[in-house]
Amino acid sequence: MIDLSSDAKILHYITTDDPAEAEALYATARELREEHYHRDVYFRGLIEFTNYCKNDCYYCGIRRSNTKAERYRLSMEQILYCCQMGDMLGYRSFVLQGGEDPYFNDDRVVEMVAAIREKYPEHAITLSIGERRRESYERFFRAGANRYLLRHETANDEHYRKLHPASMSLAERKDCLFTLRDIGYQVGAGFMVGTPYQTPECLLEDLRFLQELNPHMVGIGPFIPQADTPLGDSPGGSLEQTLRMLALIRLLLPKVLLPATTALGTINSQGREMGLMAGANVVMPNLSPKAVRKLYALYDNKICTGDEAAECRMCMEGRIRNFGFLPDMGRGDSRVEVAAII
Ligand code: SF4
């Protein structure tokens, strides 16, 4: 019996190094995932369409000040080609992710979303392009975007200020998340586990913030340092603590969509499968052109940068089936009841 009825009890599971306790946590999370989503694992096709970013987050390999990052932007034709490939491979859910690239102003994002929506009226379109004004989010929504991912990164203000320059604010980021939910998007928040200066209490705050927001999706992964950033010499986050956090999120937000992230697969060759065994139920294979995969380097040694989209799709399917899960290529809508589900 996992008791999470107080902060102290949750903190205990955030920090425990008892393998039996951790396994009990994973087993309970698995049961809950199966209750709501059976053994299905939803596939999202990820298109990383620009690695330009105007921000300077201290942990990020594509931060503005990293002059070693080789920059790219996909053209509209390339983006639509990725969607076409994805559709042929069976994907019904596209995630368009990029840095906060001023080139992709509101008009260009609307153009991109509308073009995809016209070709694929039934597919889910997710944007992950950072902080914008309410008006911008509304325009994207009207153009056909259904979902929006915006990791809050940390819910603790002091910790946030240690990871970001003074020009960025946690309050604004949280505001964006509530605005997106209010507009009617299916919203995804999330954070990294093991970032410098993070304490167990910070992680507890993350969980409490997620309970307050009640998002449809939560994306978490271990912190992995990128050598050309100010935090490049810091130690990375641990597999075990990331798995415990995945399980805790499943227990506290039972119906949430929870990806087993590429970062988890990067720190351990079976990290994503272990994530699924700890309560996750989504994977996001890459649909970006092979030529640019390595350049979207938020952190070092990222996996799956050398495979074609079809190879990624087949590889993930094989891995999932090996662990007794069932790939689901449908839209995979969240079962969280908050705002309108599109
Ligand atoms: S974390 Fe996001 S906002 Fe920050 S520098 Fe990287 S891409 Fe830009």
- Per-residue pLDDT band for 302 (boundaries 50, 70, 90) equals confident
Q: What is the DSSP letter of 213?
A: H
For ligand 1, atom 7, name the residue with the nearest CA: 99
Tell whether ligand 1 has an atom less than 6 A from the beta carbon of residue 151.
no
Per-residue confidence band for 340, with pLDDT thresholds at 50, 70 and 90: very low
Is the pLDDT at 341 greater than 70? The verdict is: no
Distance 53 CA to ligand 1 centre (A): 6
Q: What is the average pLDDT across 255-267?
A: 96
Average confidence (pLDDT) over 226-250: 98
Q: How far is the CA of 148 from the centre of ligand 1 (A)?
A: 15
Query: From ligand 1's centre to the CA of 56, what distance in Å?
Result: 7
From 48, 49, 53, 163, mutation site for ligand 1 pocket: most ligand atoms within 8 A of C-beta: 53
Query: pLDDT-derived band of residue 318, with 50, 70 and 90 as boundaries?
Result: very high
Percent of the chain with pLDDT over 70: 99
Contact 276, 320 (CB under 8 A): yes
pLDDT in tens, 137-186: 999 999 999 999 999 999 999 999 999 999 999 999 999 999 999 999 99
Instruction: Kindly report, residue by residue over 94-141, the tens digit of the pLDDT.
Output: 999 999 999 999 999 999 999 999 999 999 999 999 999 999 999 999
Residue 338 pLDDT > 70: no
Q: Give the distance (Å) from ligand 1 centre to CA of residue 7.
A: 31
Q: How far is the CA of 289 from the centre of ligand 1 (A)?
A: 21
Mean per-residue pLDDT, 279-288 = 95
Ligand 1 closest atom vs CA 131: 3
Predicted TM-score of the model (pTM): 0.96
Tell me if 338 sits within 8 A of 185, measured CB to CB. no
